[in-house]
Amino acid sequence: MTPEQQGRERAEAFRLGHGLGVQPLPDLVALIEQTTDVDVAILQAGPDEHGMTMRDPLRAVTMIAVARTRNPMRQRSTLAHELAHVLFDDCSPPKPSGWSDRGPEEQRADSFARHLLVPIDGIRGVLTSREDLSEADLAGLVQRFQASPAIIAIQLNLAGYIDASRKQRWMALTAPALATRYGWADQYHALQSESDMHRAPQRLLARATTGYIESVVSLEAIARLRATTPEQVQADFDEAGITPSPTDTDLPWAAADDLPAGDNDFSDLDALDEPPGTS
């Protein structure tokens, strides 16, 4: 079985296993975190860094980290690509030739990402006929599936809707140009704003918030985790009615010997209270 076939088969199995059908996928970060035991972070990174998957074998923790970007379609394909590495369990350091080496594992992950984001049956459900497609049809599919023109063009070619020559021409087009030409530039700008935002792993942030409520994690630590200011975190907590528990140990019920045994372990959040540059 070729890497293309392996990627397609696993993408179709993932959609089927999670009841996703062939419809466009919503928030990929939330989807990955809710369907796998993987944390996802959106971080500031260099211009040539798109995403990577990291594993801590000692703690059995896996995290996908992708770069903030003004290219929302690329961020979605990067998230799907990294999910493939998790599902195929083929995360590994770069080869001597570097990250740009497109070996079988990378080709398989590329295929998985395309078929996850733009299932061929999903295209067929939108295009009721195989008549000659226009650039407007391409723009509509880019908007619907929130995938790049290149990914859409490859899938259209695989599905038999366009020939290789048109595929190459359409792969050279860009999402912002299509959005501007066909009237959904405002939506594209909204997608850009979302993909260019810092985003902390949800489980880690939820645990940190629990730690704040239990008075063991500081407001400043949560602000660093969210890449925002303590004032903004405080405002969010005030609006949500979140306050730390009392810490007055003179209260009779607050004696250490009288407290129930807890199962919350916040030791891995201690680093958040260290000043930047000390770790």
pLDDT reported for residue 99: 44
Position 100 scores a pLDDT of: 54
Counting Cα atoms < 13 Å in the Cβ hemisphere of 169 gives: 8
pTM: 0.84
> Where does the pLDDT of residue 97 fall: very low under 50, low under 70, confident under 90, or very high at 90 and above?
very low
Beta partners for residue 43, in sequence order = 67
What is the average per-residue pLDDT within 101-127? 94
| Closest-CA residue to 77 (of 53, 107, 50, 103) | 50
- Of 80-94, 238-252, 262-276, the range with the highest mean pLDDT is 80-94
User: With 70 as the cut, is the pLDDT of residue 271 above it?
Assistant: no
**In DSSP terms, which residues pair with 61 in a beta bridge?**
56
Q: What spatial distance separates the first Cα and last Cα of the chain, rounded to whole Å? A: 46
- Tell me the per-residue pLDDT of 31-64, one tens digit each, with 9 for 90 and over: 999 999 999 999 998 877 788 888 888 887 899 9
Cβ proximity of 34 and 58 under 8 Å: no
Exposure on the CB side of residue 9, measured as CA atoms within 13 A = 8
Yes or no: say if 199 and 39 are a contact pair by the CB < 8 Å rule.
no
Lowest mean pLDDT among 22-36, 183-197, 264-278: 264-278
Q: How confident is the model at residue 93 (pLDDT cuts 50, 70, 90)?
A: low
- How does pLDDT run across 214-228, given as a tens digit for each residue? 999 999 999 999 999
Where residue 277 falls among pLDDT bands split at 50, 70, 90? very low
Place of tokens 């129930």: 260
Confidence of residue 102 (pLDDT cuts 50, 70, 90): confident
Determine the pLDDT at residue 259: 43
What local confidence, expressed as pLDDT, does residue 242 receive? 97
Integer Cα distance of 255 and 47 in angstroms = 53
* Phi, psi dihedral angles at 39 (to 5 degrees): -90, 150
Of 210 and 100, the one with more pLDDT: 210
> Which pLDDT belongs to residue 268?
54
- Please state, in angstroms and rounded to a whole number, the distance separating the CA atoms of residues 75 and 140: 19
